[in-house]
Structure 1
Amino acid sequence: GLVKQYQEGQKELAKMASQFTPEYPPYQKEAAELESIKGRIRAQAMTLLHAQQGQSEALSAELASLDKELADLKAQAIHLAEGSSQSLAMGSGVDALQKYLTLLNEKIQELDVAGKVLASRVSIVNPAVAPDVPYSPRKVRTTLFAFLLGLMMSAGIIAAVQVLDKRIKDPDAIERKMGIPLVGLIPFYSKEDQWLVVEAFQALRTSIHYASDHRRKNILLIASPSSGEGKSSVAANLGIIAAKAGERVLLIDCDLRKSTLHQFFTLDPKRGLSDLLAAPEMNAKEFILETSSKGLSLLPAGPTPLNPPALFSMTRFHDLLEWARKEYDWVFVDTPPLLAITDGSLIAEHVDLVLLVAAVKITQEPLLERALEMMQRLNKEVAGVVLNRFDWRAPDYYHYYYGKYHAKHYHYYGGNPAAPTVLDRAASTARKMTRRAIGQRKGAPRGPVV
């Protein structure tokens, strides 16, 4: 065959290659014949391959056809098996139903006989009557239950609010919880109740007088933990009351960021404390203004400087307070809020006493405690706390401070010619607060509160 011819041609070509060069004509002829045989062998191989592929595809198609026929036969066999089992099941089901129907008929007959026997023995004792009112809903019971539930929920909410609300509401809590004396109560007032404010500040002045050891400590810092608690108002009114008592009082507005003291006296200063501290060569008297109250002077804050704490750290500020100590009976220093900025703690280093101002339902107890701790760390003596803006008409406050006095004198307020004057009432309250202050001083140690 062609394969054998190809093998013999390869041997012959190899023999010629060992004797001749590839350019030798017989060698080239033999190589061409060998290549021709190789091409015919390749063509025959491709023909056989295509024939083999055709046979394989035919066999695959025949196998698929046989598989389909087998599947159809299996499906028919399963269908026949199910049909026979259903027929058997239906037959047995019909027999069971027939037996159950027979049993039911027997039970019906038995019940019919028993009912006839019982009917002959039953009689109506009381006929049924429709109720006049509905059984449900029971409105009275439901309303009462809802009322009690609402009452308990309201009590719980009120108790939770009282626990979470840390604002000062009880004057006794200041002395009981913080161990610091309450030296004054400043009430809300109307035009008819102005005498209350006079009495309150008279009592406060008396308490401060004894706390200062009869004015030996006459530089008083009036401060509050935060803003909006009325410290400037307390400073101004306390200064007015002290001046009316014949004392020389100097108010110094050290709140260089938000000064308000000059507004109480309708003054419009062009310069003040900040200018004085920035110009050591100036005389302090040139910056002090006289108010409408005789004996009461004011050193206003002046323009806001770039760095207020730096001014209060100067020796000039200490020298100013020492000069004022000798020139005046009282020096009341109004400061910014203690916990807001550092000015208050710097100013406190140069004073003798500290008076803390708190407002009812405004000041938070934790903030007042922090302010007290700040003064104690500075080793400053705290004269006490003034509780501002309390409602003296409320039952608790009324009986706490003014109850006995008001009950004693209330019948005079209708225009009786013999009614006591404001000064009489102020003196009465001042005497009571004096006795209270003396008692506190006897039980308290001298020196700073620690």
Structure 2
Amino acid sequence: MASTVDEQITPTLDLREFLRAVRAYWVGALGILLICIAIAALWTLTQPRVWTSVATGVVQTTGGGDAGLALAAENLAKSKAKTYVELAKSQAVAESVAEAIGSSSPGSLLAATTPYLADDSSLIQISASASTPEAARVLADAWIAAMSQRVEELEVPEGTIRTQATSFVPLAAATTPTAPSSPNIFSALVVGGVVGLVAAGIFMLVRNTLDRRVRSVETVEKTAGVAVIGTLIRYEPFDAGRRLATAVSPLSGPARRSHFAITEGIRELRTNLAYVSIDDPPSVVVVVSASPGEGKSTVAANLADAVAASGRPVIVVDCDLRKPMIATIYEKEGAVGLTDVLAGRATPADVAQRVPGNLDLTVFTSGPTPPNPSELLGSNAMREFLDSLRRTGAFVVLDAPPLLAVTDGAVLSTIADGVIMTVDAASSTQDQLQRAVGAVHRVGGKILGVVLNRVPERGADAQYYGYYGQKAYYTPTQRPKVEDDAPPPQAPPIANTTNLRPEDLPRRTRRNPPTIAPSDEMNDAPAERSHLA
């Protein structure tokens, strides 16, 4: 198991992972695409407009009426056309054109003109570019005229008799262009879009590779090497400080659906935990996390409430001696507690506190902060204390500190029956989870499973955590109706246990809760069963 956990997770990008990356990073990818298109559009605005016009000339030869002579004349025209194309690229033609249109730069005119021969014909076309439409038209026509003049000079040299069999004459005058040929706005936007798509794909690939957060149940199970036994949604009352689902009673609407989802998630955790080890069910579990702020104390308290609601006695012990939370969650006195028992200043019966409204739940707060928490939690006194709780037959939940912050959680894993790892779906990384699991395995602890906490209730990522929402399974019409005049449920009376010793704690075979000490507040509070049952 340990060797499996220590292996590095090699990121792969299959179709499912790619679609998840698209859903997770589509905003950034869309921004990159739009930026690239905008850059292409701005580039076209900064480029000078170029207008292009085309004029056409034809090479003519003199032939007889005989078919053979006509074919020979056609072949001669095509051969001459190839020669005249090269003539059109000459400096002499450029100088003639410059003189005709009044330009002082024949070289620039030559660079702005492109002569080419139509496929398998004697047609020569001149493509002329200029900064204005009219200038492009004039340049193309002037080039055809200059070529015609140069061809006549070559075919009929000065002082000779005109026996010219070949001539070059204008065929189609250039037209004034209506749109610039450069820059091509459509082509620029297409190129910008293609570049943007490639850049957006690279962005999503890099983000997905570098994002080491726990993004799916499969990733958690592959990283931790154990199953996910519970998924709890991000629940606003928990974030607001009300950390017990039993203390929240939403009236209607989305709040009701969220409340139903969180309570169902807690029940699912309770049920899955019961089947983790059928032959040797755990009676003492440690609830830990890799880092602070992942919700381990909230998970521990709600798990204890759920198990107690099923009728089994439960004892919650706050073993986070550095930053205790159980006293705050249950609104109990935290000045005395576990450390007093371990130091011999009090007995378990002296510091145990009952929870109003839950007859099967007993709480041990942390007590004063000691200078040596790790040594205290790993002491023989702690082992004897847990043994005394085991003998009661109650289910014991230990809220331990984060594994990567201190060694307390790893120490407790060696004397408990198993560890429940709490993972924050919003912030926990694969590396943190690997290190936390490794810390438990190195000391010989057993991880029972992982609880994914703060899973998104809706959105693209919800399905990757195995949560699809519970709206289809719960509507307001499904709530059980309670008659207005129905009396509230009555709990059995609580016996006075002032002189109760730890060895006298009730066994699991008894229906009574593991009451360890009397609590005056219980005499005044109404006894109600938890609605997690």
> Structure 2: which 5+ runs fail to align?
1-149, 237-254, 482-533
- AA in 1 matched with 2:346: M
Partners of 1:112 and 1:287 in 2: how far apart? Answer: 116
Contact 1:289 1:297 in 2 (8 A): yes
The answer to whether residue 284 in structure 2 is matched with residue 284 in structure 1 is no
Tell me the equivalent position of 1:255.
Answer: 320
Determine the structure 2 residue equivalent to 1:18: none
Q: Does the C-alpha gap of structure 1 residues 113 and 385 become closer, same or farther in structure 2, counting only changes over 3 Å?
A: closer
Please give the alpha-carbon distance, in whole angstroms, between the structure 2 residues aligned to 1:112 and 1:156: 58
Measure the CA separation in 1 of the matches of 2:464 and 2:471. 9
Alpha carbons 1:240, 1:293 under 8 Å: kept? no
Give CA-to-partner distance per residue, 1:103-122, whole Å, 9 cap, x none. xxxxxxxx999389589955
Q: Does 1:265 align with 2:330?
A: yes
Q: Secondary structure at the residue paired with 1:125?
A: strand
Query: What's the CA shift for 1:283?
Result: 1.1
Q: Deviations over 1:248-292 (max 9, x none)?
A: 1111111111111211122242222122222x2521121111123
Could you state the TM-score of these two structures normalised by the residue count of structure 2?
0.53
Distance 1:212 1:112 in 2: 101
Q: Which residue of 2 aligns with 1:336?
A: 401
> What's the CA shift for 1:161?
1.2
Note the C-alpha offset of 1:243.
Answer: 1.3
SS at 2:316 equivalent? strand
8 Å contact from structure 1 (residues 250, 328) kept in 2: no
Contact 1:230 1:359 in 2 (8 A): yes
Residues 140-188 of structure 1, C-alpha deviation per residue, up to 9 Å, x if partnerless?
1111211221121111111111111111011122224443111111112
Q: Encode CA deviations 1:36-70: one digit per residue, 9 max, x unaligned.
A: xxxxxxxxxxxxxxxxxxxxxxxxxxxxxxxxxxx
Q: Is 1:161 aligned to residue 207 of structure 2?
A: yes
1:210 aligned to 2:275?
A: yes
1:114 matches 2:153: yes
Q: Distance between the aligned counterparts of 1:270 and 1:400, measured in 2?
A: 39
| Cα distance, 1:346–1:116 mapped onto 2, change above 3 Å | closer
* AA aligned opposite 2:192: A
Distance 1:160 1:148 in 2: 18
Q: What is the alpha-carbon distance in structure 2 between the residues aligned to residue 216 and residue 400 of structure 1? A: 26
Cα deviation, residue 222, structure 1: 0.6
Which residue of 132, 139, 156 corresponds with 2:185?
139
Structure 1 residue runs without a partner (length 5+): 1-110, 423-450
2:464 and 2:208 map into 1 onto residues whose CA distance is: 21
Distance in 1 between residues matched to 2:460 and 2:151, nearest whole Å: 84
Residue 262 of structure 2 corresponds to residue 197 of structure 1 = yes
Letter of the aligned partner of 1:310 in structure 2? E
Once the 2 structures are TM-superposed, how far is the Cα of residue 399 of structure 1 from its aligned partner? 7.6
Instruction: Name the structure 2 match of 1:38.
Output: none
Q: Does 1:240 align with 2:305?
A: yes
Q: Quote the offset at 1:420 in angstroms.
A: 5.6
CA distance in 2, matches of 1:382, 1:212: 11
Q: CA deviation at 1:201?
A: 0.8
Q: C-alpha displacement at 1:237, in angstroms?
A: 0.7
Q: Which residue of 2 aligns with 1:180?
A: 226
Instruction: Give the number of the structure whose residues are more often helix, by fraction.
Output: 1
Match 2:284 to one of 194, 201, 219: 219
**1:433 alignment counterpart:** none
SS in 1 for 2:382: helix
| Secondary structure of 1:303's aligned partner | coil
Q: 2-side partners of 1:179 and 1:274: how far apart?
A: 34
1:357 alignment partner, SS class: strand
Letter in 2 for 1:284: P
Residue 340 of structure 1 aligns to a residue whose secondary structure is coil
Quote the Cα distance in structure 2 between the aligned partners of 1:371 and 1:195.
Answer: 31
Matched, 1:123 2:169: yes
Instruction: Specify which of 434, 454, 468 is matched with residue 369 of structure 1.
Output: 434
Asked if the contact 1:392–1:398 (Cα under 8 Å) also holds between the matched residues in 2, the reply is no
Partner amino acid, structure 2, of 1:186 = L
CA distance in 1, matches of 2:223, 2:460: 22
C-alpha change, 1:126 and 1:238, in structure 2 (3 Å) is same
| Aligned 1:276-425 pairs, distance under 5 A | 276-278=341-343, 280=344, 282-294=346-358, 295-395=360-460, 397-398=462-463, 401-403=466-468, 406-407=471-472, 409=473, 413=475, 415-416=476-477, 419=478
Provide the rounded CA distance (Å) in 1 between the counterparts of 2:410 and 2:438. 11
For residues 179 and 313 of structure 1, what CA distance do their matches in structure 2 show? 26
Query: Percent identity over the alignment?
Result: 28
Distance 2:396 2:403 in 1: 19
Does the aligned pair in 2 maintain the 1:166–1:366 contact within 8 Å? yes
**CA 125–267 in structure 1, closer or farther in 2 if over 3 Å, else same:** same
Please state whether the residue corresponding to 1:327 is helix, strand or coil.
coil
Larger Rg: 1
Amino acid at match of 2:349: K
- Cα deviation 1:272-314 (Å, max 9, x = unaligned): 2122222x25211211111234122211112211121221132
CA contact (8 A) 2:215 2:465 kept: no
Residues 221 and 353 in structure 1, CA contact (< 8 A), matched pair in contact too? yes
1:391/1:397 contact within 8 Å kept: yes
> Which moves more between the two structures, 196-205 or 310-319?
310-319
> What amino acid is the match of 2:340?
D
Letter in 2 for 1:248: P
User: How far apart are residue 133 of structure 1 and its match?
Assistant: 0.4
Contact residue 212 and residue 353 of structure 1 kept, 8 A: no
* Higher strand residue share: 2
- Could you tell which deviates more after superposition, 246-255 or 377-386? 377-386
Once residues 317 and 380 of structure 2 are traced to their aligned partners in structure 1, the CA distance between those partners, rounded to angstroms, is 17
Q: Is the 8 A contact 1:223 1:355 kept in 2?
A: yes
SS at match of 2:175: coil
The separation in 1 between residues aligned to 2:435 and 2:235, in whole angstroms, is 30
Partner-residue secondary structure (3-state), 1:123: strand
Q: Deviation at 1:233?
A: 0.7
- Partner deviation per Cα, 1:86-129 (whole Å, 9 max, x = no partner): xxxxxxxxxxxxxxxxxxxxxxxxx9993895899553321111
